[in-house]
Amino acid sequence: MDESILITGGAGYIGSHTCVELLNAGFSVTVFDNYCNSKPEALNRVESITGKSLTRVQGDVRDRVALEAALRSSGASAVIHFAGLKAVGESGEQPLRYYDNNVVGTLRLLEAMQTCGVKTLVFSSSATVYGAPQFLPYSEDHPFAPTNPYGRTKLMVEDILRDAFASDDSWRFSILRYFNPVGAHASGLIGEDPQGVPNNLMPLWLQVAVGRRECLNVFGDDYDTPDGTGVRDYIHVTDLAEGHVRALQWMAQSDGGLCRAFNLGAGVGYSVLEMVRAFEAASGKPIPYRIQPRRAGDLAGFHANADSARSVLGWQVTRDLQTMCADTWRWQSNNPSGYVG
């Protein structure tokens, strides 16, 4: 396949893993990233893993002129849009920055795509658009009720895409709602490299395992879940990356326009304590933990109904929890300071 794809935010955690899968599937790749939460080194590693080269453009998605230039020079037929800010807590402290980056950035991108006649987009949405579960597993028609500015940026962009499609049905949009991405590429060369203090469970586990943190705080053991701790649907980042390739292939097969959302999750929930046991098995290190009060804004538990992705995209996860933890540990062991040094 000699098709060129522009990937905004392609140097980030999910973007870099998706670049690997796209290059392996024969696509040409141009990454458009301002590196506000990533390192260019990730892209060197993508090239090492695949033995293929990609094109780098440093730019901001709010810069329409730069996007148009990148779309033209790459000859892209489709865009995967990862570029965005993703820290839930920070989105409450700096909501304007989040709306500007995530919503305005996507508007500029859509305008540039329209100008350049590129009408196919995969958008990184999130299970966070659903909010408190009215039923589980969440299916794509679950009502929307995001509980923080970050989640609202994702829902706003989804609404923008649905409105754009309603006015012009030549657009092709795949909205992918990720559950909890974890893991790293099996090579141990690329993985998550959080800047500053991490918020998510996996990077915090790693800091405990390597002795940078005394113990893991378990936020709440009195939820209505089997062991009282929070339950999430963890998905290996390579499975997630493969979902993007499937979405592109599905859209390419269509004669007309499309606008459809897909849950990308494993369909299975694991509790924090189940995760602790899996971390211990993968790292061979005891993970001391302390039960703490619930974290504000956390939900008890949720998981995905990913039937649509299976039946329409022909996608399903193939990597289990053990693999998610083993791959994460390999990345951490090989790169104790992430991409630096």
Residues that bind ligand WQD (CB under 6 A): 86, 88, 126, 128, 180, 199-201, 204, 216-219, 230, 232, 272, 295, 298
Q: What is the DSSP letter of 138?
A: B
| Binding flag, residue 161, ligand NAD (CB under 6 A) | no
In whole angstroms, give the CA distance from residue 319 to residue 302.
19
Question: Closest separation between CB of residue 298 and ligand WQD, Å?
Answer: 5
Which residue number, 3 or 320, has a Cβ lying nearer to ligand WQD?
320
| Alpha-carbon distances, residue 51 vs 184, 187, 189, 302 (angstroms) | 18, 13, 13, 39
| Binding flag, residue 306, ligand NAD (CB under 6 A) | no
| Binding flag, residue 265, ligand NAD (CB under 6 A) | no
Binder of ligand NAD out of 7, 9, 45, 248 (CB under 6 A): 9
Question: Closest separation between CB of residue 44 and ligand NAD, Å?
Answer: 14
In whole angstroms, give the CA distance from residue 332 to residue 251.
36
Site for ligand NAD in 101-160 (CB under 6 A): 101, 105, 124, 126
- State whether the Cα torsion 321-154-300-141 is positive or negative: negative
- Per residue in 188-216, is it b (16+ CB within 10 Å) or e — as a string? bbbbbbbeeebebbbbbbbbbbeeeeeeb
Q: Does the annotation mark 98 as catalytic?
A: no
Print the binding letters for residues 166-195 with ligand NAD: x by CB under 6 A, - otherwise. Answer: ------------x--x--------------
Q: Checking phi first, is residue 131 left (phi over 0); if not, alpha (psi -120 to 50) or beta?
A: left
Which positions touch ligand NAD (CB under 6 A)?
8-9, 11-15, 33-38, 60-62, 82-86, 101, 105, 124, 126, 178, 181
